[in-house]
Amino acid sequence: MARRQKPASGKDYPQNFTENIVDIDVTSEMEGSFLEYAYSVIYSRALPDARDGLKPVQRRILFMMTDMGLRPDRGHVKSARVVGEVMGKLHPHGDAAIYDAMVRMAQDFSLRIPLIDGHGNFGSLDDGPAAPRYTEARLAAPALALTDHLDEDVVDFVPNYDNQLMQPEVLPAAFPNLLVNGSAGIAVGMATNMAPHNLGEVVAAARHLIQHPDATLDEIMEFVPGPDLPGGGRIVGLAGIRDAYATGRGSFKTRAKVEIEQLNARRTGLVVTELPYMVGPEKVIEKIKDAVTSKKLAGISDVVDLTDRTHGLRLVIELKNGFNPKAVLAQLYRYTPLEDSFGINNVALVQGQPRTLGLLELLQVYVDHRLSVVRRRTAYRLGRKKDRLHLVEGLLVAIVDIDEVIQIIRSSDEASAARERLMSIYDLTEIQANYILELRLRQLTKFSRIELEKEQEELRRDIAVLEEILGSDTRLRRLVSDELGEMAALHATPRRTVLLESEAVDPAGAAALAGGSGTSASAGKAAKAVLPLEIPDDPCWVILSASGQLARTMTQDPFADGGQRVRHDVFTSVVPSSARGEIGAVTSAGRMLRLQVMDMPVLPATAGVPNLTGGVPVKEFLTLAKGESLVSLVPLNTVLAVGTTQGVVKRVTPDYPLNREDWEIITLKDKDTVVGAAAATEEDDLVFLTAQAQLLRFPATAVRPQGRTAGGMAGIRLAGGDSVIFFGPVSPADEAAVVVTIASGSESLPGLSAGSAKVTALAEYPVKGRATGGVRAHRFLKGEDLLSLAWAGHGPAKAAADNGASRALPTEHGRRDGSGVPLSQTVDAIGPSLS
């Protein structure tokens, strides 16, 4: 600390200098100084006024922008200009504080109803705004409602910091800005943190309170069930909101809006489209990566931010296979800002004193303020109307005898004498006489008198209405309520935030609250279940449809009756497996490819037959050569029976390589292809069906199992030009086993041949020896010469037409050598029992 040096001699002091050192108590001085500082922070910086919901700097910004004429229909001006005007005239503090307050009022993610229309980079949840010399601003339309009628003596004005200018003590505030936009600030020894709400809901509550001054909190909460955050999201737990509305203090949890989506054929993800209040995507990504690195989170492979201006927020969290998406989401809520806590502390200034207010008190303070504003505005307008009526009445008196008035004025030596003579002759007041003296000659025409009489009548009617408003509290309240309704109609928007009753609600799906109606519809309570993080290895069915759709279902019986059927929902393969198991896919080229069941999409758990519209094309899982197609799905742990179009049959032993993803299961001859492959036991019969309607049935024991590189053996002897169109195992003990054949003409154009269908019990066909020609399965009608489709297995069967419609097949079993029943439409697929 620097010392005060005394001069070397007394002559250096002034002649009249007298040293006066005052000893003070440091404790008292610090207490007094701190109280002054605390008072300044509380009243002039950190806390909003409960009437207009604005802090002093915000109020001064809006007032100065209004004074500058920066209306929504005018052009933007540089933000630096606004900051300079506010700082130089009303707010003698740093420009950074003013600009920060201005930026916040322009951010649609900070305020539910932004008050400033910003042009340029006004920041984001993760980044700050550009400098004020780069951005531009003007008032937003709702801000005009806060400053409207300031020139009608609706509020008191106070001097600025140097007593040269006047500024409003509070703004008229045509809507409850404090509840709608909320507020946050830290003062000395106290703080405020108020949540935003929906304008339509708050206005509806205010109007109800105006009409029913003795309304209870429960009645008000029917209109305002909870906050409505600018970024949407979900609020979990309404008990804290109820406490905050009752006492002014409470807390609730906010959650992001997350949906589980199938990103591609093999990958599931969590897509975040809404975040908690004031939480940015970069912060979420950083916390997720930290939690994955510290091994608090498992099952996440990548996080991608796809946010853009067109689609808005889209944060994609890719999951690893085998993890339960809902369980991973629960972990994300626990360890990342996807779930955040908001503490409500409704501290605001009421009559210059900081108070903690509940919802009912906040609305009551605003309603009282608005009643005062409208009453003062009405009184001001009444006074102006009466003053104008006074002038009009005096003018009408003068116009009646205008020639005499002119003569009096011309004969007077000066204006004061003319004024005195007019007042004495026509019994006018000084104001009326002065107004007559200031008249222009063009106002003395005949039409001016008619207009003055009309204006007089209008003024008298307006005065009567204004006096009625001032004389009736009911009429005044109705006027305030109607004006609030107009504000809601202009600026209210639908609710964005969903309210959930408690944490027990499924985080991935909840009932939304109807926005803007003033009524709540919260999600019902549900039992909270602990979800396993990894998907258990539960039994499932893997299904392949005739259209090449692949999926798995957790239903116990995929062939159950019921359910809605869609195009091509004919099953060509149904393989039992488990969620973490593997199956094989046999192709027409004699190859088998290994498939992971976990990679396949799960069909919705619906009653009856699974709807395969939830499946994905096979090409998303398999890489097939040109001309190669998928024949069937098979288990990997059983003996398979394979048949080819040239009549070759083979039983393959399951000695498949463990270190390869694909291998051959049969060596095919030139131009031969696999037509069918399925698991077969030694008790099964193997069935061939050819295009020329030949059927051969023989025991599976007639074919010895071979290694995967063998070429098989003769299965059915084919006539010239014939080929196999179906091969598969059928249990002879199955009394419901049937053979379905559909005939058509080879000369007909595709889709034009009506054809015929026949369903025959498998027992009608005798067992023959392997490598024989079999028996006749279908007698062709006129115009038919081949089978277009054939199938054998457990019945009854269903078919899908080429237009996707379900085709009814004959219900009566016919003789094996008989003809079929004519069809009205071509069929392009046959499969097991379906509905």
Q: Among 132-141, 158-167, 492-501, 617-626, which is the least confidently predicted range?
A: 617-626
Inside any domain, residue 422: no
295 and 316 in a single domain? The answer is yes
What is the tally of structural domains in the chain? 4
Helix or strand holding residue 436 (H, E):
helix 430-437
Cis, peptide link before residue 796, omega less than 30° from 0: yes
Q: For residues 656 and 66, give the distance between their C-alpha atoms in angstroms, rounded to a whole number.
A: 81
630 and 643 in a single domain? The answer is no
Task: Find the catalytic residue in 134, 245, 366, 426.
Answer: 134
Give exposure, 808-834, as e/b (b: 16+ Cβ within 10 Å): ebbeebbebeebbbebeebbbbbbbbb
> Would you say 119 and 137 are in contact if contact means Cβ atoms under 8 Å apart?
yes
Dump pLDDT digits (tens) for 215-233. 999 999 999 999 999 999 9
Range of the domain at 60: 44-173
Dump pLDDT digits (tens) for 690-748. 999 999 999 999 999 998 889 899 999 999 889 999 999 999 888 888 898 888 887 76
Inside any domain, residue 356: no
713 and 769 in a single domain? The answer is yes
> Would you say 128 and 100 are in contact if contact means Cβ atoms under 8 Å apart?
no
Strand order in the sheet with 77-78: 77-78, 136-139, 116-119
What angle in degrees, to the nearest 10, is found between the helix axes of 473-491 and 199-211?
Answer: 170
Least Cα distance to 558 among 603, 528, 526, 597 occurs for 603
Which token pair is 593? 């490819």
Q: Among 388-402, 430-444, 498-512, 788-802, which is the least confidently predicted range?
A: 498-512
Q: For residues 647 and 714, give the distance between their C-alpha atoms in angstroms, rounded to a whole number.
A: 6
609 and 646 in a single domain? The answer is no
540 and 628 in a single domain? The answer is yes
Looking at 122, 154, 173, the residue that finishes a domain is: 173
Report in angstroms the alpha-carbon separations of 801 from 411, 547, 558, 648. Answer: 111, 12, 21, 30
Q: What is the chain's Cα-based Rg? A: 44
pLDDT, position 801? 57
Which token pair is 701? 């024991």
Give, as one character, the DSSP assignment of residue 182: -
The yes-or-no verdict on residue 835 having pLDDT over 90 is: no
Inside any domain, residue 482: no
Mean pLDDT confidence for 794-808: 60
Give, as one character, the DSSP assignment of residue 778: -
> Would you say 794 and 734 are in contact if contact means Cβ atoms under 8 Å apart?
yes
> Would you say 290 and 256 are in contact if contact means Cβ atoms under 8 Å apart?
no
593 and 630 in a single domain? The answer is yes
CATH number, position 756: 2.120.10.90
pLDDT category at 450 given cuts 50, 70, 90 is confident
Give, as one character, the DSSP assignment of residue 126: S
Q: For residues 31 and 37, give the distance between their C-alpha atoms in angstroms, rounded to a whole number.
A: 10
Least Cα distance to 241 among 257, 258, 259, 229 occurs for 229
With H, G, I as helix, E, B as strand and everything else as coil, classify residue 67.
helix
Amino acid at 548: G
CATH number, position 287: 3.30.1360.40
- pTM score of the predicted model: 0.72
CA torsion 170-171-176-180 (nearest 10°) is: -100
pLDDT, position 38? 65
Mean pLDDT confidence for 550-563: 64
> Would you say 316 and 521 are in contact if contact means Cβ atoms under 8 Å apart?
no
147 and 77 in a single domain? The answer is yes
Whether 134 sits among the annotated catalytic residues: the reply is yes
With H, G, I as helix, E, B as strand and everything else as coil, classify residue 36.
helix
Alpha carbon 23 to chain centroid, angstroms: 66
Looking at 173, 195, 216, the residue that finishes a domain is: 173
817 and 777 in a single domain? The answer is yes
